[in-house]
Amino acid sequence: MLLCMLTGVFFFSTFGCKNPFAEEKKKPLVRELLNEYLAEPGRYIVYWDGKDKNGKYVEIGEYIVLLEFGNHQEQDFITAQVGGKPGFNNQGNFIPAFFVATHLETPFPDPFQLLSGVNLPFALHEPAQVKLQIYAN
């Protein structure tokens, strides 16, 4: 029996410690929104305009948001619906603050109208290399 950790929670497993997000990276990468070293702890809100890496609006449907920081990963799901106005939901910003753990917060609005985009908030408790990616589901 092995002692494994999943998003800060330890558990015992007889099957080994497998990365539960390894399968997500086998799915098509829609867009990488962030890949940089963030030196200041706080709450970040990254705005996704609903476009893929080629600048075209994605299809209506469900997408996976994957946040990677250090050796940790968290994910959430978002749903794109028809409609909206370009940039309408854009609330991207940074607020310096203290957090006890880095974590992905609930995207808003969700579901979102594709043309209006969606906000992807996360809390960063210490400086780290951070990636925020969107995958097809």
Q: Using one digit for the tens of pLDDT, what is the confidence trace for 13-49?
A: 444 444 555 666 679 999 999 999 999 999 999 999 9
Q: SS3 for 114?
A: helix
Rounded to two decimals, the pTM is 0.82
| pLDDT beneath 70: ranges in the chain | 1-25
Position 1 scores a pLDDT of 42
Question: What CA–CA distance (Å, rounded) separates 117 from 130?
Answer: 21
Position 26 scores a pLDDT of 79
DSSP 105: P
Position 25 scores a pLDDT of 65
- Residues 112 and 89: beta-carbon distance below 8 Å: yes
Position 18 scores a pLDDT of 46
Position 70 scores a pLDDT of 84
DSSP 70: T
Question: What CA–CA distance (Å, rounded) separates 75 from 63?
Answer: 10
Question: What CA–CA distance (Å, rounded) separates 2 from 60?
Answer: 41
